[in-house]
Structure 1
Amino acid sequence: MKAVVLAAGEGVRLQPITSTRPKHLVEVGGKPILEYCLSSLKASGVDEVLIVVHYMAEAIRLRFGDGKSFGLRIDYVEQKAIVGTGNAVSVVEPHVSDDFVLLYGDLLFTTEAVKSVIALHQKERPAATMAVVPVEKPEDYGIVELENGNRVKGIVEKPSRQEAPTNLANAGIYVFSMEIFERIGRISASSRGEWEITDAISLLAKEGKAVLAVTLSPDDWFDIGRPWDLLEANRWALERMNHKVIGFIEDGAHLIGPVTVAKSARIRSGAYIEGPALIDEEADVGPNCYIRPHTSIGKKVRVGNACEVKNSILMRGTHVGHLSYIGDSILGEKCNLGAGTVTANYRFDAGPVKMMVKDKLVNSERKKLGAVLGDNVKTGINALLMPGVKVGDGSWVGPNVVVDRDLPANSILLLRQNTEKRELKS
């Protein structure tokens, strides 16, 4: 069975991280989100994949190529404009000739989740089979209403909590028959100006076609929608990783629990690392550092003397100067943090940290959340970033500056101070 993976979107809500890479190439647990999707397909018996691309399409092509290194045959088709999942599926019609798997390539899910949907479809041979998952906030998802056990009655996009027919969200894992293409041709644009695949599925159900649902465990699925979700996605990946220590560990370093140290990584004396954690290729940690659980230290990252890093993602080539603290934060590629840089991650009033997402202030519902830095950000010594701030790509934060609001890309923020020089009298 062939699989189609949707990977055309930009992931605007994850900026500044997605300003320089598509959402599908953001790494959690040392691998791009899309790679987890492809690995699940391969483990489910799928060997032919068609990826729908648009935003930074060439970056995705370069990363995954023809798929041989993943044991897959990968081809690509471009969605000309981002006008909905229904439109994205329609562009693959010339490339499929039988029932096919469809996955959203910006989600995390287990191999068992994919296998369960394929198995039910192959057993019952309905017009469509989809995965659903219980969620706490139905107002944030497409909600699926069932009847007669597992038969889909309809799908409501982001209903109010009071009007939601169930708490079962569309999980973005499907198997479709060729009938789906005719229904896509009959749907119209939504109020957002997009053609949604869920409208085509609802049309199948209304016409009496069999559309079946598989209910997943919440542990088998994770949605990545906001910047702080990347931290939870990183946790999800690290907790499922087969950890190995094969790098160079100096005497006096301590690794506690499940920790991966890649072959070319180095852990210097005095480092104390608590797992689950990842120290990737050519990373250099220490001496005398404290790496706390659920941290991913990316390729070629340098963490200097006497630093503490907690529940964070440090991307390729970033340098964290000595005496720094990085907590519950995401640092893009090739950032350079001066000595004593601190990402504050807790409010005085112990309230939830808020962050700007698509020009709206959003409650993260997290008591601990630090900063999100784009690529190539630099900070001077003793720079302080307050909880929930974002710094755009290529920006500079001067020494001793307190960053208390978002800083756009390619900006410089300096502290202006008044000084007085006096003659010292004996």
Structure 2
Amino acid sequence: MPRITQAAALLSTVSLAITQIAAQSCPTIDPAHAPVMATGYESRVVLNGLKSPRHLVFDTLGNLLIAEQDQVGIRYVKLTDNGGLDICAESSEVIIPDTTLNHGIDLSPDGSILYVSSKTDVYAYPYDAARATVGTAKHLITIPDQEDHVTRTLTISRRYPELLLVSRGSNANIDPGTTDIESGRSQIRIFNLTEIGDEPVPYTDGEVLGWGLRNSVGVTENPVTGDIWSVENSADEVARDNVDVHQTNPAEELNYHGNLTGASPVHGANFGYPLCVTAWDPSAFTTTTAPSLTVGTPFVIGTTNDTVTDEMCQTETTPPKISFPAHTAPLDVKFKADASAVYIAFHGSWNRDSPDGYRLSRVNFTTDGFPIEPSDSSTAEIRVMTNQNNTACPDGCFRPVGLAWDSKGRLFLTSDATGEVFVITGA
């Protein structure tokens, strides 16, 4: 064989070997509880062994950043991506070892600033994706301490990258103080980062995007219209005129907040809590306690009086665009890139006899930027990823929390109860 041919053959062999090594499949990680996937969807565990992973985000180089709630901080995960579901963790390290950080995380659109939160503070870190390092933190926002609903969801607008949204929940199941907008609880507020100097600002300095929101843990921006949407965890142990209706009421909510310019009629709107919540199962009410409720209709918690009436709830507060079954606990919501649907992570119930939630679902949207189904629909939620047996929940289930899209349109999901990260295709 001529020498040049031998060299070419050797080069071809080496190239083939390198290609084969690079194309080796990731090791299979068996899920703690194998999910049931809807037709057209597939999933695989990318990473496990985490301690209560909550929200997550991709950096500009395709690495994962995960907020771990259980005394960890912020974890950086470098991925090996062989395409499709064949993805695994190449390396993993905690880059912010702060045990007070418990949930919120987002990146500036250019990927250079990492935003994180504890129950009392919001910080910004300079971030280097190539080196997997952070710089010195800037303290942005201070939040009064509270015992209940301690997570602070963070969302940076892609359309207005100087604007940071921070969600804060109530300090009790029913928190009477949140009837005062100045309480700063049960709200989503807007912070202009260009106006925050060297000292942190109090949470109540932010502009109110929405209030009367018991605990809106998931907040997202429509990538086409720029409008803001949230998912709300509504009240537990609800009764109406001494009739217990809590097994199937009130509804969890998908709420619309308009754009961030302030021009929307729902900008700064009151969504009703703690006086008003939303019906999911009208049949649980008697004709004397609530004679005209339908799915998605606001009603008064407890007992009505001359001033606190269902009519007040229905005319003076903003109802949800879509309602979901009671106590299913939506903890994140993310739009597809074309805004044709949102995906919602339902963490699952504790406040009903028959467990519900514990799933990933989809709600389809029109090209006008609103759900296809009407606000009184009980069928807008399309279940995508479910547990095999909800009666085994919560101990025998995966429990969805955070959602993030990668650059290839694959959806990643955390399960805090099982310490896993899933990748999902077909979404």
Q: By the TM > 0.5 criterion, same fold?
A: no
Instruction: Report the TM-score, using the length of structure 1 for normalisation.
Output: 0.27
Normalized per residue, the structure richer in helix is: 1
Greater RCO, 1 or 2 (C-alpha within 8 Å, sep 6+):
2
Is the strand fraction higher in 1 or 2? 2
Task: Calculate the TM-score normalised by the size of structure 2.
Answer: 0.27
